Amino acid sequence: MRAPLFHLDHTLESGQVFRWSKHDEWWHGVIRDRAVRVRQNGDEIMADGISEERLRHYFRLDDDLEAIYEDIALDECIIPRIEQFRGLRLIRQDVWECSASYILASNSNVPRIKKMIGSLCRAYGREIDEGVYAFPTPEEILEGETDIACCRLGYRADWIRQYASMVYSGEFDLHELTAKDYAGAVKYLKQVKGIGNKVADCIALFSLEHLEAFPVDVRIARAMRENYGITGSYRNVSACARRYFGRYAGYAQEYLYMAEDRTRRRELTMCPLDTRIEEPRVQCGSRRS
């Protein structure tokens, strides 16, 4: 299928999802209960194991990326980052898998997160292809015979079992979650042990259609401090970024995140001082005109 203004590598290398790996020219991954492989040649996307409709939905090919760029290209900092990673799209993830995965991602790095999720899937998920397992449902985690300690999740094991129990019993209602606005969704998510500000923002951005969410990790905190002069608490940095970048702040976050990779930081200069957001404007969170 044709997919103009889409860069598969940038999208799958951006730290949004953890169940993809690249072998030769093909990306291999799992989308819900499907083992999938995808490759790109120019504007053409070739895929096995999934329908074109589901693939377009997953990679958000319905997003008007040119309009989004126009909305977030506010200064000399973000513009070269948009150009460098042009075609990177947010991924539309399943809310249960995304939320459970980001509970496991707390205070860890991507290789470790991938190992933990892989272990959980092998222990409790259904085999959907040879050696490939679906992400387990809450019921499968709770009723599985494998000792969760074998998954080497550390303290996160209690969190994931408790969350699975809350979802399975209906104490935490995923349908209710999806109906909430951004602020309501974040508040609702944070009642779950293991979900704080950053994890809630990741879940809101990647699975709940709240494209204004702006997760702040070490990379993003550094980018906002060095490029925009924004410092302070998580809440302050995230709120200022949302107000500044607007309804597509989550897209701006991904481009800033990619540029903060150590190997890429050398290729981009810091934001000129005269384009930084001055401290009084941080408090009001104005957009640049």
Looking at the DSSP bridge assignments, the partners of residue 40 are 45
**pLDDT bucket at 280, cuts 50 / 70 / 90:** very low
Residues of the chain above pLDDT 70, percent: 90
164 vs 282: which has the higher pLDDT: 164
Place of tokens 């923002």: 201
Give the mean model confidence (pLDDT) for residues 245-269.
Answer: 84
What rounded mean pLDDT belongs to the chain? 92
**What is the per-residue pLDDT across 73-103, written as a single tens digit (0 to 9) for each?**
999 999 999 999 999 999 999 999 999 999 9
The reported pLDDT for the residue numbered 107 is 85
Give the CATH number of domain 95-207; options: 3.20.20.450, 3.30.465.10, 1.10.340.30, 3.40.50.2000. Answer: 1.10.340.30
Give the CATH fold of the 8-62 domain.
TATA-Binding Protein (3.30.310)
Q: What is the pLDDT of residues 167-188, one digit of tens each?
A: 999 999 999 999 999 999 999 9
Domain boundary assignment for the chain: 8-62, 95-207, 218-284
**Residue 69 and residue 123: Cα distance in Å, rounded?**
42
Mean pLDDT of 135-160: 95
Three-state DSSP string of 157-197: HHHHHHHHHHHHHCCCCHHHHHHCCHHHHHHHHCCCCCCCH
* CA-based nearest residue to 240, from 218, 265, 219, 220: 220
